[in-house]
Amino acid sequence: MANTPIRELDFDQIKRSLKDYLRGQEQFKDYDFEGSTMNILLDLLAYNTHYQAFYANMVANEAFLDSAVVRNSVVSLAKHLDYRPRSKKAARILVNVELVPITSRRVEPAGVSVTAGKEYVISGSTFTSRDALGKTVSFVSLDDYRFRVVGGRFLATDVTLYEGTLKTASFIVNTKDSLQRFLIDDSNIDIDTLVVKVQRSVNDNEGFDEIWTRVNDINKLDGNSRVFFVQEAEAGKWEIYFGDGIVGQAVSNGNLIRMVYLATNGDRGNGIGATDSQNFKAFTSNNPEHVVTVVTDEDGDPQPSYGGSEPETVESIKFYAPRNYQAQNRAVTSDDYLAILAKEYSLRSESFLVWGGEENDPPQYGKVFISIKPRNSSKLSVTEKQAISRTILGERNLVTVTPEIVDPDVTYINPTIQAFYNPQATTATPDILVSGITQKVLEFGDKNLDQFGKNFRQSKFSAYIDSLDSAINSSTVSVVLEKRIEPKFGVALPYTVKFDNALFHPIDGYPPIIDSSAFYHKDLTSEAINKPTVVAYLDDDGYGNVRIYKKIGQERVYLNRKAGTVNYTTGLVEVKPFSPIGIPDGSVEIKIKVRPNKSDVLVRRNQVLVMNESEIDVVVSKERTVIDRSASDAGFPYPYRSN
């Protein structure tokens, strides 16, 4: 058997090798293995060998970060690189809380003290709201916030609320139990909210009020440092452990370990509070004397909750653990920034991009630019940007480098799809096909766009559409690119829109390929001193000029024929200072649409392509086949477009 060659570890190959070996023995030279009981024994030996080989291969795979697939293995290997995976993260929101005593329901004069016992929004105060599905969501305060007299009102300003429910866990230290572990049996914990206190014993309250600190860096610790460490354990649980009396203070037999933490729903808590208004309060307090108002941004819009996320995935751990090790907890290179952001600011971010100021257009030396694409929205809120700059970048950034967070440059894809199908090869109605194709378009956007560096490929998109139903024989696709600007109404400012793709321009003087949504503008064609307001639009003249026009019936009357320029080669649209007054539908954005020169749309730097759900146009047409050539409705193919 020692001379048996081992070339393959598949079952059949192993069994064949065993037979070849036995046939080489004089006793089994002419033995009929297939018709004997020994064939069963060979099956058993081959199966056992194959099983052991497979098991050994899987065990070997779990020993390396690149090939491991079991979460416990990946987490354990990441520890060697000093990387702790992210737990669930609680969404947070900034609110103001006003104290309105029920007894009076009126504002007390400025300077009057708040009734004793009511001077704080205390830690643990509960607030409730509802998510998009109408389900109740709980938020809590993790700190005390004092009411102050502001304009004759009792206000606690900039109160941070966290989504979730406060829970507790406790352990009695038993030094005689060498296997004792301090496991938090709750996979919904936001580990960053964990508060640990160590009491001398159940009957001795010494240490009741002293909070122990969670640390990762042991360089500055001694035997008296009251710290604890945390790591992910099996099945999504989290384990805390303490020092040994040399690096960190050790716990003693009989000590009572008390823990308080927040159990959260993760990303379910995002986006709550966006509808808050004076007449519709998004949050209610467990204290009926507290009136909660969501903090607004500089435009007066409420800033909804943000930051909720699910535990870090295995794929994310494998990607970021080695990069975090390279960064060594400092931000110097672009990869360092990416590793730090991914580790500590998961939020609802879908994609990160970092580039140096020397790579910027135009170059800005001494800066590093950071762009983050959040999930389900186009940009971060002002509050989120401030949180990143203050708590993450500010602690690790070099003094000589200034980080700047910029919004993603979002370009919307407005697709028109015409699909041809054989009605005899499917039971689906045109309505069903239109609905299915629309869903496939959205799926394509989710899987292939919405992130930095993701291009739109027309051939890949068409193939994805055709895969919906075997009855679809072919499809044609055309796209329009859309960007949006937020003008300052009534203020003359210039605007630059970069499509970064060549625009369709076969010859000079070609009909307009630029279009825009409506906006209010002064009628510059009027001779009146106080010029009236009209609904206006943007287009181009085919010679590189952007124009502003109004409509009279089907005719375009131009208010300004030199309102800006368009470079058809680079896709750069520049509008000279102009001052729209408002927008008819009450929105704050003007949409600028162009026809690209090619169906493939490429991105550069922080540009992100997003499938525009509201502008998907689907047409299905019956395609003539040999079978229905004599059909009476000789008008085939005819299109069907859903309403």
Q: What is the pLDDT of residues 268-303, one digit of tens each?
A: 898 899 888 888 899 999 988 899 999 987 667 888
Closest CA to 503 of 485, 482, 476: 482
Average pLDDT of the residues in 361-380: 79
Nearest to 385 by CA among 347, 338, 414, 423: 347
CA distance 112 to 101: 13
Q: Looking at residue 497, what is its pLDDT?
A: 94
Q: Which run of H or of E encompasses 153?
A: strand 153-163
CB 642, CB 433: distance < 8 Å: no
Which tokens sit at 415? Answer: 């697709």
Crossing angle of helices 334-344 and 314-327, rounded to 10°: 130
pLDDT number for residue 633 = 38
Closest CA to 502 of 564, 572, 414: 572
**pLDDT given at position 643:** 42
For 239, counting Cβ atoms within 10 Å of its Cβ (0-12 exposed, 13-18 middle, 19+ buried), the class is middle
Token pair of 51, please?
Answer: 């099983």
Class of the 92-164+267-294 domain?
A: mainly beta
Residue 354 CA to residue 363 CA, distance in Å, equals 14
Does the pTM surpass 0.75? The reply is no
Residue 78: φ, ψ to 5°: -65, -25
C-alpha–C-alpha distance, residues 339 and 322, integer Å? 9
Q: Centre a 10 Å sphere on the Cβ of residue 241 and count the other Cβ atoms it contains.
A: 13
In the chain, domain spans: 11-61, 92-164+267-294, 166-263, 328-407, 410-481+617-641, 487-588
**Sequence-distant (≥ 6) Cβ neighbours of residue 118 within 8 angstroms:** 99, 101, 147, 289
Give the mean pLDDT of 565-570: 96
pLDDT band at 328 (very low <50, low <70, confident <90, very high): low
Per DSSP, 174 falls in state -
Average pLDDT over every residue of 377-398: 73
Instruction: Determine phi and psi for 169, rounding to 5 degrees.
Output: -150, 150
DSSP 542: S
- 398, two tokens: 């070099």
Cα–Cα distance, 106 to 332 (Å, whole number): 55
Given this model, what pLDDT does residue 366 score? 80
Nearest residue to 593 (alpha-carbon basis) of 497, 527, 516: 516
Q: Indicate whether 180 pLDDT > 90.
A: yes
Q: Are 446 and 454 in contact (CB under 8 A)?
A: no
Whether the pLDDT of residue 549 is over 60: the answer is yes
What number of residues does the chain have? Answer: 643
**In sequence order, what are the beta bridge partners of 560?**
548
| Residues forming a β-bridge with 573 | 497, 566
Residue 114 has pLDDT above 70, yes or no: no
Mean pLDDT, the chain, whole residue set: 84
- Residue 562 DSSP class: E
Give the number of other CB atoms < 10 A from CB of residue 501: 21
Q: Which CATH number fits domain 328-407: 3.30.300.200, 3.30.420.40, 1.10.357.10, 3.30.110.40?
A: 3.30.300.200
What's the pLDDT at 203?
Answer: 93
Cα-based distances in Å from 204 to 226, 252, 254, 423: 18, 13, 10, 82
Does residue 45 have a pLDDT over 90?
A: no
Is the pLDDT score of 624 beyond 90? Answer: no
Whether the bond between 408 and the residue before it is cis, its omega within 30 degrees of 0, is no
- Percentage of the chain beyond pLDDT 70 is 88
Angstrom distance (rounded) from CA 329 to CA 347: 19
Q: How far is CA 334 from CA 134, 319, 320, 356, 357, in A?
A: 41, 15, 13, 7, 11
pLDDT tens string 227-247: 999 999 988 899 999 999 999
- pLDDT on residue 241: 93
Q: What's the distance, Cα to Cα, between the start and end of the chain in Å?
A: 75
224 has a pLDDT exceeding 60? yes
What mean pLDDT comes out for the span 111-130?
A: 73
In Å, the largest CA–CA distance within the chain is 117
Give the C-alpha distances (Å, rounded to integers) separating 22 from 15, 35, 80: 11, 15, 48
In whole angstroms, what is the distance from residue 226 CA to residue 459 CA? 61
Confidence of residue 350 (pLDDT cuts 50, 70, 90): low
- Tokens for 326, please give them: 């390279």
CB within 8 Å of 29: residues ≥ 6 apart = 23
DSSP string, 257-273: EEEEEEE--GGGGTTTT
Q: Are 90 and 308 in contact (CB under 8 A)?
A: yes
